[in-house]
């Protein structure tokens, strides 16, 4: 039995679905169900007694303590977070609350539960903290990729809140001996991603013949990884990761945002030839404040220790992703109403679209 936090979000739900398909042992899934948490992502597990979704906040220590003692998990896999950089610029408070204070609350409750365990459960226990490449800051074009020992230099309120949570996790291992492992991953894409993030936003805007807003000059570089490959890596680190260690995860797939937008347009042209060329929808808009120029991950450690490598290339993963959004119109319809519309208004109304390509 494992306790997953944030398992109704994008990566968390992919992880829970993969876990139930490939591992033995049930999952208790603690999720606050914010705008980003969506029980529809877990619809395939309806009636499956191996999955229990509990609506709650990781800051609710009484609830976390109760869940730990009731279900006695052998591990906590901590995905829950406020995850969107642009939202952290518009309003950082929730990021401090969930990412820093929430992780602290979870660590405190984990420490209390773990300290009551007897061997071998005690040394076998794991607190796996899911983090990001953004904690390392921004790279110049020819800088080497981030390694596990690159000094932290977070630039957005989101990245700073994740960096703070990583430091707390590190300190709980160093000071109390809590068997923690941290994973730092690059940009994920795939099914169930909320369409505030670049790839689903571009796919859905393209299908609706709406503008495809590229921030700044479109030359910012991200390293893209298909979400299921990330989930496989997390499972490996959970099973084999050494306590106190951190592991970088990435796709070795650096692309500019403009290249990503164009690759999506090519697939949309195939799917909707009557609307081709979708590239004419691409336009440059006001840049994100403090926009990190480039991320790149050196993943030699996880490759060497566990033989992990991504299965999907960007071409195969992006094709699967576009097909998923085409095939899941109901899911899309349900997430793109209400709160989503308010976000689109808040983020894009002051970003005039210029230089249509």
Contact partner, 36, from ligand NAD, ligand DAU, none, Cβ < 5-8 Å per class: ligand NAD
Contact partner, 213, from ligand DAU, ligand NAD, none, Cβ < 5-8 Å per class: ligand DAU
User: Which of 170, 272, 288, 357 touches ligand DAU (CB under 6 A)?
Assistant: 288
What are the structure tokens assigned to 74, written together? 């052998």
The region of 27-35, 52-60, 128-136, 313-321 touching ligand DAU under the rule CB under 6 A is 128-136
DSSP class of residue 97 equals I
Q: Which of 25, 60, 135, 33 shows the shortest CA–CA distance to 13?
A: 33
Contact of 192 with 14, CB cutoff 8 Å: yes
Residue listed under structure tokens 């109390």: 176
CA distance 332 to 194: 9
Is 86 labeled as catalytic in the residue annotation?
A: no
Q: Does 84 bind ligand DAU (CB under 6 A)?
A: yes
Q: Does 85 bind ligand DAU (CB under 6 A)?
A: yes
DSSP class of residue 8 equals T
Q: Which of 173, 198, 178, 171 shows the shortest CA–CA distance to 187?
A: 198
CA distance 161 to 168: 11
Q: How many residues belong to the chain? A: 357
User: Which of 28, 30, 145, 214 touches ligand DAU (CB under 6 A)?
Assistant: 214
Contact partner, 180, from ligand DAU, ligand NAD, none, Cβ < 5-8 Å per class: none
The residues facing 4 across adjacent strands are 29, 77
Is 172 labeled as catalytic in the residue annotation?
A: no
Is 303 labeled as catalytic in the residue annotation?
A: no
For ligand DAU, what does the binding mask look like between residues 131 and 150, x meaning CB under 6 A? Answer: -xxx----------------
Query: Would you tell me which residues interact with ligand DAU (CB under 6 A)?
Result: 83-86, 132-134, 186-187, 197-198, 201, 213-215, 220, 222, 257, 288, 295
Q: Kindly list the catalytic residues.
A: 133-134, 158
């Amino acid at each position: 039995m494992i306790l997953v936090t944030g398992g109704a979000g994008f990566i968390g739900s992919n992880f829970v679905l993969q876990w139930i398909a490939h591992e033995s042992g049930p999952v208790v899934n603690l999720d606050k169900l914010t705008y980003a948490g969506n029980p529809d992502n877990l619809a395939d597990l309806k009636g499956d007694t191996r999955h229990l979704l509990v609506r709650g906040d990781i800051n609710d220590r009484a609830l976390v303590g109760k869940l730990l003692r009731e279900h006695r998990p052998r591990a906590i896999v901590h995905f829950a977070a406020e995850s969107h950089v642009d939202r952290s610029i518009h309003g950082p408070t929730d990021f401090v609350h969930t990412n820093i204070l929430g992780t602290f609350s979870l660590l405190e409750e984990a420490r209390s539960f773990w300290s009551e365990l007897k061997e071998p459960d005690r040394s076998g226990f794991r607190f796996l903290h899911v983090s990001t490449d953004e904690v390392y800051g921004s790279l110049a074009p020819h800088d080497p990729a981030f390694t596990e020992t690159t000094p932290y230099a977070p630039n957005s309120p989101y990245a700073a809140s994740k960096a703070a949570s990583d430091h707390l996790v590190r300190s709980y291992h160093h000071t109390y001996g809590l068997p923690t492992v941290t994973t730092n991953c690059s940009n994920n894409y795939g099914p169930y991603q909320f369409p505030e993030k670049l790839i689903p936003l571009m796919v859905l805007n393209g299908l609706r013949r709406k503008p495809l807003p590229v921030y700044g000059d479109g030359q910012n570089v991200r390293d893209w990884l298909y979400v299921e490959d990330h989930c496989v890596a997390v499972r490996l680190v959970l099973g084999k990761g050494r306590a106190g260690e951190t592991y970088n995860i990435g796709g070795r797939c650096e692309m500019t945002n403009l290249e990503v937008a164009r690759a999506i347009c090519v697939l949309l042209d195939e799917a909707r030839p009557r609307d081709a060329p979708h590239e004419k929808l691409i336009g440059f808009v006001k840049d994100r404040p403090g926009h990190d120029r480039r991320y790149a991950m050196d993943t030699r450690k996880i490759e060497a220790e566990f033989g992990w490598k991504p299965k999907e290339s960007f071409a195969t993963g992006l094709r699967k992703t576009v097909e998923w959004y085409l095939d899941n119109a109901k899911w899309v319809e349900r997430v793109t109403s209400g709160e989503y519309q308010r976000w689109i208004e808040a983020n894009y109304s002051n970003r005039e679209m210029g230089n249509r390509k």
